[in-house]
Amino acid sequence: MELDRKILDHLSREDYVPLNQQDLVKALDLSKRENKQFRRTLHKLLDQGLIAKVKGDRFVQPKDADLVSGTIKFRQSGRALLLPDPQPGKPPREPLTILAEDTGVALHEDKVLVRLSDENKRRRSRDRRNRPREGETLARVIRVLQRAHPTLTGTLKQSRMYHHVVPDDPRIIHDILVPPPEKAEVFPKPKEGDKVVVRLLEWKMRHLNPEGVITEVLGRTHEPAAEFKAILHKYKLETTFPDAVLNEVADVPDTVRKKDIKGRLDCRKKFTLTIDPDDAKDFDDALSLEDTGKGGCRIGVHIADVASYVRPGSALDKEGKRRGNSTYLVGCVIPMLPQALSNGICSLVEDQDRLTKTVFLDFDRNGKHTGTTFANTVIRSAKRLTYRQAYAFLKKDDIDEIRGTPLPPAHQTGSTGRALTELDDAEMRKIQQTIRRFWDIASRMRNARMTKGSLDLDMPEVKIFVDENGYADRIESIENDESHQLIEEFMLAANEAVAKAFFEAGIPFISRVHDEPDPDKLYELREHMMTVGIAVGDLTNRAEVTRLLKKINEHSQSYPLKIQFLRSLKQACYRAQTDGHYGLYKTFYGHFTSPIRRYSDLVQHRTFDYYLAKHGLDTAPARVALKYTKADLDGLSEHLTLTEQNSTEAERESVKIKLLEFFEREVEKKDKTVFEAIVTDVKNHGMFIELTESLAFGMVHISTLRDDLYTLTDDGSALQGRRRRKKYSVGQYIKVAVERVDRFKRQIDFHLVEEDPKLGFEPAQKVAPPSKSKPKENKPKEKQKDKKQRRNKRNR
């Protein structure tokens, strides 16, 4: 038995009483080898929160001392939540609330040990901040088990007595004290206003600020280059690859050779298209169409064969596995694989031979799916299209009008192949007929999927474009139109087909899992929807969930309500077992279609080769057919889930920073831009809003509403003027302009723009910021004296 298991088993015995280290050694009757490892193992279990130390330096299980370990998540107010660690064989525990004064020396995302607080005592407290809200369980931090971020990024500031770093993350509410810049052991020396990296020193007392040492200067705060470096540092992202990886890439051929094609199904004569975003540089999927007679057709879903160039165990493979996936920051991609592969030999560029793995889907004349086959193939894309161009082929009949669709930026370098203006009418018609046939099949698949119970969880997206200096320049909304849905349906079908084939063959593989939501969360969601006028039944019934989504899509507050809906669901993850996908309503599902940017798909491709070899479907010589064990995939799935979550958080932060940057430049404009917004919530201090185009969140403070005195209505759904009775309600559309932007708090304030039928929209009267000190009142000296005497008497 392993020593850590031996210790845990002993502490869990019913007759166990807390023992100190020396007595625990005796009670365990350890061997000489175990005795040497005991102290190190004990400290490891302490750091993991699996055991706890109580008075007298005695050791117990956390639950025996009302202790809980977990990850602490702060809010800007200073309050925090503890997300308890999962316990094997036990249901997940609800988050615990930690008040600001009970957070100890913990920082955002630290691993901590907490003790449950006496709620009755809290309820009796005179301080309202100490009173728990309905349903909250309070706790206080006992010990920090592990710092989440030994180093932080922030802005160097100078006060009268000392220098300090203001952390970038507003949830880290303490400034970090640092030595004067001239004492920093970095070059160049930091200056006030610089973005820096600070290493935290040991922090023992909450009433004193934490201290640190500056280890790196990233540039001037709020400049694009400095903000970019800060994100890279925070999320441990790297833009360069190790030399060993680059050396291996140098040996990869630039073109597909004859020997590479041997044993593959030749699909180069099949009419094949790629459809991707305007600015895409790596094309990992393509579609082909061929008639099968009697009105039927076969659609080939071709996916770049990255596995042919990334061998298991190579430096390239290890680096791809470590990164887990590509990360898409605003204006920049941190690729999983070097560009020589991702944008080169693995990218399905126009008019070039490329190695692929293919799922062939057969359909009859009525669009009914009749069969699926798999193969390793070689293709040659006839045309690279953008979503915009594909949409034009679907919706427009005039060929010349389609030719006028905007070109993707990469056409300037010629990397996208021929422009539509270079194609003759016959070629244009062939593309149009093919895309419309694709959509005919895809639309039937989509309707069938939604009818069966798949949830329409597509959200509106925005894309932020930057100028040559890296500053946010413009924002465009991206609609999930038919051109996007066309590609999505065939990718979903290929992913499901491969996963199902692996399962039926008894081959272990990585599933993309989306667990069923918690019934309590669904009940809370149902109650919330009632407050906005949406009545539905039991949401554990799938039919009611699809009915709810339909009502949300028709509601004036569609976007915020859909966000609320998504928050009630669990996050999708990778798992080495077929636990199903709740959102898609599929039993078998795995990622297969994006091996350039997801390591999970690369693993799936190696399993695909094993499947073909096992069934005698691959005649290629010396193909690497790798079978992963379930034990291999368990650890790999957990790792890939974590890397995906890390990239998602980095991408969100990148968008947030660029939105702040964009609106900060709006403040500086003489002629303010007027934005349409929807009121998402109201409080006694103002309205929370969301812009309909950029989906940016902000606030209209009540102090900017100068035409009346506004107060919250009794039901809390609107702000109403006392004199004019004018209302601003949740779900109402309004016009706003930017008032101010706080980059440190990451907040955007707006003011209302009032509509004038003659003049258009005019900004409401702007309000000067409140003075920090009250102006002196011109009161008679006698009254001031009387007031002073009353105050002194009250103080006595």
Q: What is the CATH number of the domain that holds 35?
A: 2.40.50.140
* 752 domain residue, yes or no: yes
**Statement to judge: residues 374 and 506 lie in one domain:** yes
The Cα–Cα gap between 647 and 178 comes to 30
- How much is the pLDDT for 771? 40
The Cα–Cα gap between 201 and 211 comes to 6
Range of the domain at 537: 519-569
**Statement to judge: residues 110 and 208 lie in one domain:** no
Please give the helix or strand (H or E) that residue 727 lies within, else none. strand 727-729
**Statement to judge: residues 779 and 699 lie in one domain:** yes
Burial class of 620 by CB neighbour count within 10 A (0 to 12, 13 to 18, 19+): middle
* 94 domain residue, yes or no: yes
Domain boundary among the residues 82, 112, 144 is at 144
Domain boundary among the residues 95, 112, 144 is at 144
**Total domains present in the chain:** 5
* 216 domain residue, yes or no: yes
- How much is the pLDDT for 778? 44
Length of the chain counted residue by residue: 796
For 342-368, b where at least 16 C-beta lie within 10 A, e where not — what string? Answer: bbbbbbbbbebbbbbbbbbbebeeebe
- How much is the pLDDT for 760? 40
* 723 domain residue, yes or no: yes
Those residues with Cβ within 8 angstroms of residue 699's Cβ, 6 or more apart along the chain or in another chain: 686, 687, 688, 689, 747, 748, 749, 750
The Cα–Cα gap between 270 and 290 comes to 7
**Statement to judge: residues 590 and 700 lie in one domain:** no
- pTM, entire model: 0.84
* 664 domain residue, yes or no: no
**Statement to judge: residues 184 and 220 lie in one domain:** yes
**Statement to judge: residues 331 and 464 lie in one domain:** yes
**Statement to judge: residues 170 and 35 lie in one domain:** no
* 35 domain residue, yes or no: yes
**Statement to judge: residues 86 and 206 lie in one domain:** no
- How much is the pLDDT for 434? 97
Give the mean pLDDT per block of 10 residues along the chain (796 residues): 81 80 82 82 81 78 79 91 81 86 92 78 50 74 89 93 93 93 90 95 91 95 95 95 96 93 94 92 94 93 96 96 96 94 94 97 94 96 94 94 77 65 94 97 96 88 89 87 96 98 96 94 90 89 92 82 89 95 96 97 95 81 71 94 96 94 89 89 90 88 90 88 88 91 91 60 40 42 50 50
Please give the helix or strand (H or E) that residue 520 lies within, else none. helix 519-531
Beta bridge partners of 289: 271, 299
For 722-744, b where at least 16 C-beta lie within 10 A, e where not — what string? Answer: eeeeeebebbbebbbbbbebebe
Nearest of 611, 587, 608, 591 to residue 599 by alpha carbon: 591
Beta bridge partners of 198: 152, 214
DSSP state of 91: P
What is the CATH number for 212?
2.40.50.700
Q: For residue 729, how far is the Cα from the chain centroid?
A: 30
The Cα–Cα gap between 163 and 642 comes to 36
**Statement to judge: residues 450 and 546 lie in one domain:** no
For 231-256, b where at least 16 C-beta lie within 10 A, e where not — what string? Answer: bbbbbebeeebeeebeebbeebeeeb
**Statement to judge: residues 529 and 418 lie in one domain:** no
Please give the helix or strand (H or E) that residue 163 lies within, else none. strand 163-167
Domain boundary among the residues 178, 210, 234 is at 234
* 663 domain residue, yes or no: no
**Statement to judge: residues 217 and 360 lie in one domain:** no
* 12 domain residue, yes or no: yes
Contacts 24+ apart (CB under 8 A), 202-205: 203/105, 204/105, 205/105
Nearest of 199, 234, 192, 237 to residue 216 by alpha carbon: 199
**Statement to judge: residues 524 and 642 lie in one domain:** no
